[in-house]
């Protein structure tokens, strides 16, 4: 097999957390280039179902199905729909789920996908080929809506200034490329501080993050995926989630904390009921696991990664996020 195009972050930690055994069934809910799937399959005689909404990812991992015949299966779709996708193949319960919420290197590095301003390309940002693109949002959304998107999903304090500049620029001509949008954002942002030696993240980073999250409904997808995981992970099975920015990590942290009994737990081995509802999860990582310096040096994209792990109890599910069934 050829070398992977993407270096999975916290790979050893994710595999150790899921603890694959012969005969177990796992879901790699963000298949990408198949790094987590391959590691799980190599670790034990288990079965892995890989899910990805990006058809290019499904095509890239075809060699996995050949190398691990009968043990690896790729499904095109969203991980938020994992319960339905797996049920269509007779799988109703699994022993573990891995979710790597970051984009894969091929998505970032392919200028035609429009995720990055490092190389000029069409302003797309869709992980699949359907729905509105980033160009649609940038050129059609009202100024107030644009500001809300950039502030909420990019945590950008100058969101209104950026939205105003975008609206002014598109009045002259439609904004069609990543370079055009990045240039508009940079032009209205403060110069890098002397304290950082003129370095730091690119001023357009948060705006691009916000548009990507909005276009792909990434936070809504995460909520649906977490709720689906709770429904299909067997008691004693585990969920391992790697996130790359604070919006995702806070959501995962809150989900596992709330549904494991929260701060009221008196023993780390025996979670208590919270609000009269027995906990659906037991925390395996009380604090987020971060990559070591060696991994960050070898793979700079790992710097912001955070891993959280929960183990399913035998309690009933709580229901979708925000719509928890009453106790």
**Do 139 and 148 form a contact (C-beta atoms < 8 A)?**
no
Give the integer Cα–Cα distance in Å for 313 and 293.
34
| Burial of residue 16 (number of CB atoms within 10 Å: 0-12, 13-18, 19+) | middle
3-state secondary structure of 307: strand
Q: Are residues 126 and 65 in the same domain?
A: no
Tens-binned pLDDT, residue by residue, of the chain (327 aa): 344 456 789 999 999 999 999 999 999 999 988 999 999 999 999 999 999 998 888 988 899 999 999 999 999 999 999 999 999 999 999 999 999 997 655 555 555 565 677 778 899 888 877 789 999 999 999 999 999 999 999 999 999 999 999 999 999 999 999 999 999 999 999 976 655 455 668 899 999 999 999 999 999 999 999 999 999 999 999 999 999 999 999 999 999 999 998 744 444 444 444 557 899 999 999 899 999 999 999 988 889 999 999 999 999 999 888 766 555
Point out the domain boundary residue: 158, 183, 216: 216
Around Cβ 41, how many Cβ atoms within 10 Å? 21
Point out the domain boundary residue: 199, 216, 233: 216
**Do 28 and 4 form a contact (C-beta atoms < 8 A)?**
no
Q: Are residues 35 and 130 in the same domain?
A: no
Domain span including residue 49 = 11-106+218-312
Point out the domain boundary residue: 192, 216, 240: 216
Q: Cβ neighbours of residue 172 under 8 Å, at least 6 residues apart? A: none
Q: Please indicate, yes or no, if residue 151 is contained in any of the structural domains.
A: yes
Q: Please indicate, yes or no, if residue 327 is contained in any of the structural domains.
A: no
Q: Are residues 230 and 101 in the same domain?
A: yes
The pTM score is 0.88
Number of separate domains in the chain: 2
Q: Are residues 173 and 202 in the same domain?
A: yes
Give the integer Cα–Cα distance in Å for 163 and 185.
9
DSSP codes of every residue in 144-163: HHHHHHHHHHH--TTHHHHH
């Amino acid at each position: 097999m050829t070398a992977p195009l993407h270096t999975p972050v916290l790979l050893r930690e994710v595999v150790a957390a899921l603890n694959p055994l012969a005969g177990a069934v796992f879901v790699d809910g963000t298949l990408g280039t198949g790094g987590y799937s391959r590691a799980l399959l190599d670790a034990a005689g288990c079965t892995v179902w890989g899910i990805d909404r990006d058809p290019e990812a499904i095509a890239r991992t075809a060699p996995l199905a050949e190398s691990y015949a009968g043990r690896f299966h790729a499904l095109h779709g969203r991980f938020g729909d994992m319960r339905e996708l797996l049920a269509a193949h007779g799988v109703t319960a699994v022993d573990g789920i891995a979710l790597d919420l970051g984009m894969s290197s091929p998505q970032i590095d392919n200028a035609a996908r429009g995720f990055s301003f490092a190389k000029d390309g069409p302003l797309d940002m869709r992980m699949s080929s359907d729905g509105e693109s980033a160009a649609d949002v940038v050129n059609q959304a009202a100024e107030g809506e644009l500001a809300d998107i950039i502030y909420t999903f990019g945590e950008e304090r100058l969101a209104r200034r950026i939205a105003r500049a975008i609206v002014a620029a598109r009045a002259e001509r439609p904004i069609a490329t990543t370079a055009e949008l990045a240039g508009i954002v940079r032009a209205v942002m403060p110069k890098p501080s002397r304290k950082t030696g003129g370095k730091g993240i690119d001023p357009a980073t948060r705006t691009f993050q916000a548009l990507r999250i909005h276009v792909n409904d990434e936070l809504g997808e995460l909520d649906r995926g977490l709720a689906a995981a709770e429904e299909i992970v067997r008691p004693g099975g585990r969920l391992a989630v790697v996130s790359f920015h604070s919006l995702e990590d806070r959501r995962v942290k809150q989900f596992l904390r709330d549904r494991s009994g929260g701060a009221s737990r008196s023993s780390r081995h025996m979670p208590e009921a919270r609000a009269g509802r027995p906990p659906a999860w037991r925390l395996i990582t009380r604090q987020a696991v971060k990559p070591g310096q060696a991994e960050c040096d070898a793979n700079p994209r790992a710097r912001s990664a955070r891993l959280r792990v929960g183990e399913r109890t035998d309690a009933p599910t709580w229901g979708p996020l925000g719509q928890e069934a009453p106790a």
